[in-house]
Amino acid sequence: MRTASIPFILAPVLASAQPLCDSLAIEGFTYDPFGNGLHIRLRNNSSQFLGDPHFDVLDDQGATIAEGQPFFFGVLPGDAQLHVLDVNGDLPPSPFSGALVFNFINADGEGSCTFPMDQVSLCPPGSCFPFQVYGISQTGPIDAELAWSIRDADNMVVDGGTLLFAVDGLVEVVDGTCLPPGAYNLQVQWPSPTGQPFQVGVTPSLFEVPPVSVVLPADGLVTMPFTLFAPCIDNAQAVEEAVDKPVVIAVDGRLVRLSSGDGLPLGDLVIMDAMGRTIGTVRAGGSMVVVDLGGASAGNYVLRSLDTHGAAIAKRFVML
C-alpha cells in the first residue's frame, strides 16, 4: 500500500533568520514524473527576494544524496517555484526520511533553511496524476487539429483528445489528462498534414520543467513511449489489484452502470474528471446503480467509493 502523501505545509528547522524560514513552505516533494530525479515545490511567503535558490537532499544519516545547482535567478515574494533535482545513481526509496535544505542569498548574505522529512511518500497521492499533453507549432500560428491518444501496457486506449490550433491563436496548445503510474504510449496524428513541424509530448506543466517530447514528422503520425512515475508502478498496481473487486464499471455511451462485485450495497459514490473535479455524486442503497453523465465529455474519469469494510477505493474508466 502507498504511504500517505506529505503532510504539507512542512515547518523548517532554524538555520537562517527564523522569521524568514517560517515564511517558506514546501508544497510538494515527489519523484520526477517522467525522469530519474526529484521535484520540490517551494513557496516564498516572505517579503524578501531570495537569490540563487537551490536545494540539497539529505538522507536520514545526514549524507547528501542529491545536490542542486542554482538554476533560477531568484524567487520573488509570494511566488511558488518548482525545483528539479537530478539524482546520480539510485533514487531514494519511498517513503522517504531525511531532510531538504534550501540554500539562498538575500540582503544578509548566504543562508539556508532545513525542512525535516519523516516517512514522506514520493509517489503521487490518489489514483491518478494530472499532467499535460502538449503541442508546439514550430512555424508560428497555424490552423490544425492534432488528435492524440494514450495506450497502456496492454495496448488499451486510456485517454484521448484534440490539440486545436488556430492561425490567430497561440503556437502552444495543451490538453489535460490524469493517469496512474505506468508505462504508456502517446500517439499524435494530424489527419491532413501540410509538412509543418510540431513538437509534441507530455509534461507536468508546460515551460515549468523539461518535457518528454518528439517531433511530429511530415507524414503526420508519431508514437512516443513514456513512463509515468517509474518507481511507483509496483505500488500503483498493488493498489489497483486490491480495489479491483468491490465495484464493476460498465460504460454505455454516457450511461455508467456500477455494480458491487460482492453483492453488498455500494454506498456513497463520487465520480471525478481527469482534473480531480467532482462531476457526480450518488448514494446507492443497493448493489447496482446506473448514473447518467449526459453532460460529460469524452475522456478519463475516476470513481471513488467506500468498500464494504469502510476502506476508500478508487477505479478509473474511460468514456469515448
Domain extents for the chain?
18-120, 129-230, 243-319
Ordered alpha helix ranges (H), 126-227: none
Question: In this structure, which amino acid lies at residue 130?
Answer: P
Above 70 in pLDDT, residue 16?
Answer: no
**What does the pLDDT look like over 51-83, one tens digit per residue?**
999 999 999 998 999 888 877 788 899 888 889
Asked, as a colleague might, if the bond just before 9 is cis with ω within 30 of 0, I would say yes
Q: Do domains 18-120 and 243-319 have the same CATH topology?
A: yes
CA distances to 9, 84, 86 from 115, rounded to whole Å, are 10, 17, 19
| Predicted local distance difference test score (pLDDT) of residue 14 | 43
The matching CATH number, chosen from 1.10.287, 2.60.120, 2.60.40, 1.10.260, for 18-120 is 2.60.40
Digit-coded pLDDT (tens) for 251-278? 888 888 888 777 778 877 888 776 566 7
Enter the pTM of the model.
Answer: 0.68
Residue of 237, 307, 306 whose CA lies nearest to 1: 237
Confidence of residue 105 (pLDDT cuts 50, 70, 90): very high
Architecture category of domain 243-319 in CATH: Sandwich (2.60)
**pLDDT at position 306, please?**
56
Rounded CA-CA distance 98/58 in Å is 5
Please state which architecture CATH assigns to domain 129-230: Sandwich (2.60)
What pLDDT is stored for residue 3 in this prediction?
36
What pLDDT is stored for residue 155 in this prediction? 81
Rg (CA), the chain: 22
Convert the pLDDT of each residue in 230-255 to its tens digit.
999 876 554 444 444 467 888 888 88
Query: Which range among 33-47, 125-139, 226-240, 297-311 shows the weakest confidence by mean pLDDT?
Result: 297-311
Distance CA 38, CA 27 (A): 14
Report the first-to-last Cα separation within the chain, whole angstroms.
Answer: 31
